[in-house]
C-alpha cells in the first residue's frame, strides 16, 4: 500500500466507527489536522493492506510519505509531529504513563462495539459490591491528575488527552445506546474529569470532526468488520 506524498492530506485507514482507530482519530482531531478518515469496506482491501505493509494490521496512517502502523506508534507519531507529546523527558513520561494506563482502561471497552454486548459487559466498568470496576480503578486517578489543570499537562494539549477522551466518549455513547437518561452520569463523582471532558467536547477542532464523523450502529459496525455489509 503506497504511502502518501508529504504534501497530501494525512489518511487514516480502519473500519469506520469504533475500535483501534479511535485513538488516532481523536489525536488528529485534537491537533486540528484535516485528515481523510477512510473506512475499510472490502475484504480485498484488507488483504492488500496485510500484504503490503510492515505488520499487516490496521489502523495505518499515511503521512509525510510514510505508512505508519501499530496504534501506539501512530499516536506517538502524531504527538511528535504536532507538538502534543510534552516538551521534556518528565512531560513525555507523564504522557506515556497515561497512555499505558488507558490501554488497560480502554482495552476492555474497545471490543464491545464489535460484539455488541455492552449490556453484559458494563459490570466490568461499573463493578459490584464485591469487586470494584475499571471506572473505580482508573477514573479517580485521571481526575486527580487533572486537578487545577485544563489538560493533563496543564495548558498543553497532548495525545494523552485525546486517547483518554476516546475512551470516555465511547463509554458515554454506549450508555446512550442502551437508553440511559444521563449517559455521562459515571463522570459525576469526578469534577475535574467532567470539566476536562466538556472542555474538549467544546473545542472547535473536536466539534468539527464530531460533526462529520461516521458513527454506524453497533450492528452495522460488526457487519462491516466481518465484511458482511
Instruction: Quick: pLDDT tens for 142-194.
Output: 999 999 999 999 999 999 999 999 999 999 999 998 888 999 999 999 999 99
**Poorest-pLDDT segment among 76-90, 123-137, 183-197:** 123-137
Q: Return the percentage of the chain with pLDDT > 70, whole number.
A: 97
pLDDT at 36: 97
Sheet of 66-69, strands arranged across: 36-39, 11-14, 60-63, 66-69
Taking alpha carbons only, the member of 73, 41, 42, 70 closest to residue 54 is 70
Q: What is the largest CA-CA distance in the chain?
A: 55
The pLDDT score that the predictor gives to residue 78 is 98
Question: In a 10 Å sphere around its CB, with 0-12 CB exposed, 13-18 middle and 19+ buried, how is residue 133 labelled?
Answer: middle
* pLDDT of 123 higher than 60: yes
Provide the pLDDT for residue 7.
58
- Other C-beta atoms closer than 10 Å to the C-beta of 129 total 5
Q: What rounded mean pLDDT belongs to the chain? A: 93
Quick one: 27 exposed, middle or buried, by C-beta within 10 A (0-12, 13-18, 19+)?
buried
* pLDDT of the residue at 177: 86
pLDDT at 4: 42
All cell numbers assigned to 44:
480485498
With 0.75 as the threshold, say if the pTM is over it.
yes
Contact indicator for 12, 19 with CB cutoff of 8 Å: no
**Spans of all domains in the chain:** 1-229
Task: Cell 452520569: give the residue.
Answer: 185
Amino acid 120: pLDDT? 86
Question: What architecture is the 1-229 domain classified under in CATH?
Answer: Up-down Bundle (1.20)
pLDDT at 1 over 60: no
Compare 125 and 158 and report the one with higher pLDDT: 158
pLDDT at residue 5 tops 60 = no
Per residue in 23-75, pLDDT (tens digit) is: 999 999 999 999 999 999 999 999 999 999 999 999 999 999 999 999 999 99
Question: What local confidence, expressed as pLDDT, does residue 82 receive?
Answer: 98
CA–CA dist 12, 36 (Å, integer): 6
- Residue 6, pLDDT > 60, answer no
Of 21, 40, 17, the closest CA to residue 226 belongs to 40
Q: Where are the alpha helices (DSSP H) in 31-88?
A: 43-52, 71-81
Amino acid at each position: 500500500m503506497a504511502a502518501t506524498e508529504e504534501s497530501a492530506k494525512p489518511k487514516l485507514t480502519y473500519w469506520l466507527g469504533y475500535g483501534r482507530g479511535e485513538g488516532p482519530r481523536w489525536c488528529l482531531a485534537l491537533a486540528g489536522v484535516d485528515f481523510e478518515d477512510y473506512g475499510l469496506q472490502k475484504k480485498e482491501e484488507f488483504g492488500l493492506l496485510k500484504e503490503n505493509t510492515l505488520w499487516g494490521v490496521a489502523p495505518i496512517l499515511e503521512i509525510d510519505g510514510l505508512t505508519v502502523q501499530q496504534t501506539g506508534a501512530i499516536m506517538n507519531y502524531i504527538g511528535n509531529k504536532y507538538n502534543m507529546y510534552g516538551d521534556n523527558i518528565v512531560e513525555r513520561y507523564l504522557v506515556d504513563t497515561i497512555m499505558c494506563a488507558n490501554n488497560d482502561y480502554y482495552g476492555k471497552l474497545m471490543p464491545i462495539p464489535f460484539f455488541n454486548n455492552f449490556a453484559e459487559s458494563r459490570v466490568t466498568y461499573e463493578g459490584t459490591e464485591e469487586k470494584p470496576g475499571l471506572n473505580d480503578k482508573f477514573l479517580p486517578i485521571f481526575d486527580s491528575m487533572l486537578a487545577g489543570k485544563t489538560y493533563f499537562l496543564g495548558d498543553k494539549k497532548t495525545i494523552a488527552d485525546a486517547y483518554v477522551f476516546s475512551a470516555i466518549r465511547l463509554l458515554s455513547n454506549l450508555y446512550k445506546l442502551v437508553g440511559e437518561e444521563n449517559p455521562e452520569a459515571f463522570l459525576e463523582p469526578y469534577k475535574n474529569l467532567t470539566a476536562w471532558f466538556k472542555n474538549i467536547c467544546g473545542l472547535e477542532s473536536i466539534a468539527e470532526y464530531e460533526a462529520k464523523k461516521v458513527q454506524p450502529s453497533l450492528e452495522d459496525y460488526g457487519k462491516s468488520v466481518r465484511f458482511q455489509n
